[in-house]
Amino acid sequence: MAKSQQTYSKTEKEKKRLKKREEKQKKKEARKAEKDSGEGIPFAYVDHMGNLVDTPPDPSEKVKVDADEIVLGIPPKEEGDEEKFDPIRNGKVSFYDFEKGFGFIIDSENNEKYFVHVSGLIDEINEGDKVSFELEMGRKGLNAVRVKQV
């Protein structure tokens, strides 16, 4: 009796395996038919504003662009475009450490704080002094250089 029970479960397992194989084959054929028909593949268009849409764009809104007019990078400056920039700034010393040789100056125009090193000083400065200075790019940002008392 145990032997007949064992063969029954074997045949059931075999049937299940065959059924799974058939289902897998049917799914594979369905995917292949869908791929061949072109359905199910998303298709996108680009409208006249450059946005992706699912409907074809209106040909009346098409714009002709001359490739020579496209500027890559920063456009060249024309005369009269540049603002008059005074390199000499005015400010007040908010902090200065004589022992370490550095401090900070607050710009009187925009209230920005700039680092100053002893190597950038023309005159000796103290906290609270009104000074004039120029800005140069340092390792960590803009630094006050050529600092002198006003």
Q: Is the pLDDT higher at 41 or at 77? A: 77
pLDDT value at residue 56 = 83
Q: Specify whether the CB–CB gap between 114 and 104 falls below 8 A.
A: yes
136-to-52, 54, 84, 94 alpha-carbon distances in Å: 45, 52, 18, 19
H or E element that contains 7: helix 2-37
- 26: DSSP letter: H
pLDDT value at residue 49 = 76
Q: How many CB atoms lie within 10 A of CB 143?
A: 21
Domains assigned to the chain:
89-149 (2.40.50.140)
pLDDT band for position 60 (50/70/90)? Answer: confident
Interval 132-136 mean pLDDT: 93
Tell if the pTM clears 0.75, that is, is over it: no
Interval 41-55 mean pLDDT: 80
Q: Is the pLDDT higher at 53 or at 8? A: 53
Q: Specify whether the CB–CB gap between 74 and 88 falls below 8 A.
A: no
What is the overall mean pLDDT for the chain? 84
pLDDT value at residue 39 = 58
Q: pLDDT per residue over 65-123, tens digit each?
A: 888 888 888 877 776 555 555 688 999 999 999 899 999 999 998 999 999 999 999 98
Kindly tell me if the per-residue pLDDT of 41 is higher than 80.
no
